[in-house]
Every structure is written in C-alpha cells, then in structure tokens.
Structure 1
Amino acid sequence: MQFRAFDDDLRRFTEEFLRFETTDRNEKPAQEWLESRFEELGFETFRWEADADRLAEHPSFPDASELVTAERPSVAGVLEFGDPDAGPTLVLNGHADVVPADEGVWTSEPFEPTWDEEGEELTARGVVDMKTAVGVCAFAALTAHETFGDGVDGRVVVECVAGEEEGGIGAAAAALDNPYPFERDAAIVAEPTDLSPVVATEGCLMKRLELTGRSAHAARRWEGVDVLDKFETIRHRFLDLESERGERVTHPLYADFDNPWPLTIGVVEAGSWASTVAASLTAECRFGVAPGESVDDAEAEYERALQEVVDDDPWLSEHPPTFDRFTIQFEPAETDVDEPVVEAVQAAMRAHGRTETDPLGETYGADNRHYVAAGIPTVVFGPGRIEQAHFPDETLVWEDALVAGEVLVDAVEAFLSGDA
C-alpha cells in the first residue's frame, strides 16, 4: 500500500485537528478527539498527564510555581508488527499545543483551515507546527503496518504530547517515567525541518534582569539615575559576548549560521511616567546554548559579563541588579549521525529522491532533547519550514506532507528490519 492512498483521509484528519484551538493550555478536547481517532484506526491507545512535582525536579522547569499540568493529557497510539517483543520500538512524536494567533494580522481565520484554489497549500495556526505532522505520523504508521506488518518485528508508537511550547511538559513526563509497558529504542520528532534530518538542536536559557535607578522630575532629570542608560550598557556588553561566543564556541553542524547562539531580549518594561526619570526596569532574555555545552556554563558567561558592568559602575555596585532564571529552559541535544534511526531516515530520503541527506543542526529547541536525555536516540524530521512556525498565515505546501509520509514509511521499515 502507498502512503498517498491516505491523502484524502489525511486532509480530513488534519482539517479537523486544526479546528481545535489548542492555545492557553487547552489541549484536552483535541487530545480526547485524537485518542478516539487512534482507536478507530486500530491503534492501542495510551494516555498520561505530567506531574508538576515530578517536573519540578527537571532542569527545564526552574519555576515550578508556573507549571500547569492537570487536565493536559498526552496520548499515543501503538501498532505492533510481527512479534513485537522480538524487534525494536520506534516512536513518532508530535505535539498538540500551538502558539496564539493574532487574528488582526492574518488574512484568514487562524483556526479554520483554508486551502488555496488549487488545493496545494493549507493555511491555519498549527498546520506547520505541528498538527499536520501528527496526522502524517499516524497514516505513515498505518501504511507501514498494512504493507509489511507481518514481515518485520517491533512496534511503532505515534505520540502526541501536550505543552511542547512550554518546555515539553508531556515529552518530559514520558522521558522521566515511561508511560508504556515496553522500552523505546529510538524516536523521530516530526517538527518542521523542510524534509531534512536534524540531529542537533540548540538549547536556550531564559533569564530575567531587574535594574533599579533613581527617579527624578523630568525638568531635573540630572538629579535622577536613568535605568535605561544602565540597561543599554549591559545590553551592549551582552551583544559583544554573543559575537565572541559565535566565534569561540564552535560546532561543525552550525558553521553556516552567522549567529549560531543568538541572544534575544524579547521583553523590556521600564519607568512609570513619561515625565519621570525611569527608576526601574525588567528585561526578559533568551540566550542560545550550543550542543555539547551546558546551560549552566552558558549562564555563567553572561553572569560574568553582567558582573563586569556592575563592577565598573558605582551606582550598580551599590544597587546590584538581579538576574534570575524564569519560565523554561531548553537543554541542547545531539544524536550521533551513525545511530540506526538517523541512517534509516537518510536511506528513506534517498529512496524518495531526496539528495540532500546530510544531518543538520538547528538553532531552535524541541522535544527531542527529552528523549536524548533518557538515552533514546532521536532525529528531528518533518514537513514544512520553521520560518512558517509561529508566523501569521502559517502555511504548508501539502506535497511536503505527502513526501514526509512516504519517507517515514520507509524509515519505519528500515529501522524495524535492521536494514538501516
């Protein structure tokens, strides 16, 4: 059986899944629907919820007070091949949650899937990141099962987790405490990679900087201490360190990135009144962390840079800033290019005419890191381009979904049969 025989089914599946507004920790209705669809399609289903106290022990979640895990199920469907206990288990992973959509900058309703006139491109929030890929994984597993299910041994798990955008809540729980009564040998996370195999993903560190100045009337602003001036000095020092790290911290899979470990200061709030010198400032920062580098080591570099500024400034020395982790952290992750799951994906790509099969590194983080940390080799491979993720009018070229499905079918066969 060919994967494309499921084209119409995949389109309907994807459209229905996209209509669920799975923002703001509201995955449950979609996950209940998905669980029932797995059952209808012949999968054995599993469900789990993360335990907030358990995740509080995990380095990805430094602020346990912000974790919301209740009523946020992750679900999976399992298909058995031949003698399942005699072969390996491969996980195909995706996530249900999506980032919010600002309807004011979309040309269509974000949660109403919209096709172009030719039926070749689909637009909706989550179509790339990454509900379509969940359907692709499900129908790829079904295609593989119907085509060679008796000819190989093992299992395929199609997994859809909650809370990926919040640090990987469902995947972290599954990595810490296996929700299945069998072991997992490898995984493919079907995030949008433009149909390329990604074996290294960057980590990131989130820190909140708080500065204190001295207020004064605008007519006598020289009597105050403008916190914005202090912040600018710190920001420029951080940018200098970013450039320095880009040259000093190297990795062969990131040589083509002009800025491999980027710093972003995404939120800045300062002052209280237009005619008052700003005396307080809060900035929320994201710092890139290279594969092979620890989050702690990267954090220490930026903390030393901040301390250099403080030591050179009498006001900051007397009124030291705070610089604390908040929300979530992403640890970097890397899988050896010689792992069978990587070779299985590469072989499947070549079988479908994909000539650029060299493993890549990416500057974003994904749930692969949780499985890699649990000793499960993982490759990231899926349809769509990361440039479309989190963007207005998020759009997927449908042919990419079909090619991804074909590749996954052959990758399943290669991995379960040991031919990779």
Structure 2
Amino acid sequence: SAQVGVLWLQVRVKGVPSHIAHASAGINAIEAAMPLISALRALEARWNDDARRPKEFDGVDHPLNLNIGRIEGGDWPSSVPAWSTFDVRMAIYPGEDLDAAERELRACIAAGAAGSDYLRENAPEIVCHGFRAEGYSLERDTSEPATNARELLAAMHQIVSGSPMTHAPITATTDARFFGLYADIPALVYGPVAERIHGYDERVLLASVKRVTQSIALFIAGWCGLEPIEKA
C-alpha cells in the first residue's frame, strides 16, 4: 500500500597518521567517526516519532531505518588510521522531500562533528552518491484506474487463495515509484511469501509463487480482456 523513500550518503573522515608507538601524536579517523554515527542514530529516533508518522504506516514498528551499511578505514594495524569512510542509508516517508532530508542529514552530521575538538576544525566530507528514491503511496491514489486495479487484484487473489488479500506498507523501496510518481500509472506490489530477505537463509514459499502466478494471470486477463483463438 505504501513504501518509503531512500537516500544514500557517504561520510569521509580524515585523521592524523602516526606510528602506534606514538599514538597520542595521531588522530584515529575510525574512532573520530563514531560520534557522527551516534548523532545519526539520534536523528533516526526523532524521525520515527509517532507524531510525524503518516497513517499508511500506523502499526508499523520503526518504519524509517538508518543503516550504516559499510565502513572502511586505515591501512594496517600498527598505524593510527589516517582515514575512514562509512556509507549511510536512510529512509523517508512518502511525500517528504529528498533535498530537505539530505539537508537535515548533513546538518546532523555537522552537529555531531561540532562536538569534537578535532572535527570542529577538520569537517568530514559528505557525498550524496548512488541512490535517491522518493517514497510512494498507492493508498493515496484515489483515481479510478488505481481503485479498479486494487479491486480486481483483490478479487483474483480471493479466487485463487480462498482468502482476502491483505494490504501492508513496506519499509523499503521498489521500482513501483517510477510508474506511480512519474508515469501516472498506478503500481501494485504483489508477490509471494518471503522470509529473511538479504539474509544468509533468504527463502521464498514455493506454494505462494504458484498462487501469485495464477492471480497475476487472472488479473491480466481481467484487466486486458480476452480474445478467442481462431482455429487454423
């Protein structure tokens, strides 16, 4: 029924290298990055406050997830690390502005840096790279095509599975946004039962793949119509 938007940032911190025998002469760039991550966690908590949560995400525990998806730094164990980078993934709600979210993330990192004597004078570099996706809510689309598509898919699902189709928001993003936001085509995300997505034991229920395939076939037939096959 709805999906979050997502943006990525990379934060680059420069330290001061030194032989570990004289560690106090250096600045550890990996350790210097830790307060910045803590500041982002505090921002994540504020963004997940119930008061700013749209109705599509009522009942969803912690819909906006921050992920520090990658961290690198240093060159070998016996030198104080001269550099570190960490990659940030953060979510926003449908309808929220990506540029405004990026500005708030940048301000949050700057505030975290201001609490460090070193980073106050050696600001981290912030690069917006790789991915920016607006959130999308099919639930907000009250057009006739969107209403008809939802009702038809629900009916086909009922025929195949014998149970009502459930609707739920997701705390990730999909390509549905391209159709719904930019092509004026209502986009439904409908699929099989999956567990542990992106995990070591990611899996999908094969019986649900069969049911979904049947439902989609019936949906296509109902939406597009059928023509008789002429015998040769």
Report the Cα offset of residue 220 of structure 1: 2.2
Deviation at 1:320, TM superposition (A): 1.1
2:78 to 263, 275, 285: 275
Corresponding residue number in structure 1 for 2:94? 291
Aligned length: 218
The alignment partner of 1:362 has SS state of: coil
C-alpha separation between the residues in 1 aligned to 2:35 and 2:156?
A: 51
- CA drift at 1:255: 2.7
Tell me the residue number matched to 1:370.
178
* 2:68 is the alignment partner of 1:260: no
Q: Is the 8 A contact 2:95 2:134 kept in 1?
A: no
TM normalised by structure 2 equals: 0.84
The match for 1:207 among 2, 5, 9 is 9
- 1:404 pairs with 172, 197, 212, which one? 212
Pairing partner for 1:244 from 43, 46, 52: 46
Instruction: Determine if contact 1:344/1:412 at 8 Å carries over to the other structure.
Output: no
Q: CA deviation at 1:253?
A: 2.6
SS at 1:378 equivalent: coil
- Aligned residue among 210, 228, 234 for 2:36: 234
The CA deviation at 1:392 is: 4.0
Q: Is the 8 A contact 1:271 1:281 kept in 2?
A: yes
Identity of aligned residues (%): 22
- Deviation per CA, 1:201-248: give whole Å up to 9, x if none: 122111110001112221221221122232111111101111111115
Given that 1:294 and 1:332 are in contact with CA atoms closer than 8 Å, whether structure 2 keeps it comes out as no
The amino acid of 1:202's aligned partner reads V
Instruction: For 1:76-225, list aligned pairs within 5 A.
Output: 199-225=1-27
Structure 2 residues not aligned, in runs of 5+: 226-232
Cα pair 2:110 2:123 within 8 Å, conserved:
no
Give 5+ residue unaligned stretches, structure 1.
Answer: 1-198
Identify the residue that residue 230 of structure 2 maps to in structure 1.
Answer: none
Matched, 1:383 2:185: no
- Are the aligned partners of 1:206 and 1:326 in contact in 2 as well (CA < 8 Å)? yes
C-alpha displacement of 1:312 = 2.9
In the other structure, the counterpart of 1:342 is: 150
Deviates further, 334-343 or 256-265? 334-343
Give the AA of the match of 1:261. Answer: L
Change (3 A) 1:389 1:309: closer
TM-score by length of 1: 0.48
| Partner residue in 1 for 2:128 | 325
Give the deviation of 1:380 after TM superposition. Answer: 0.3
* Counterpart secondary structure, 2:47: helix
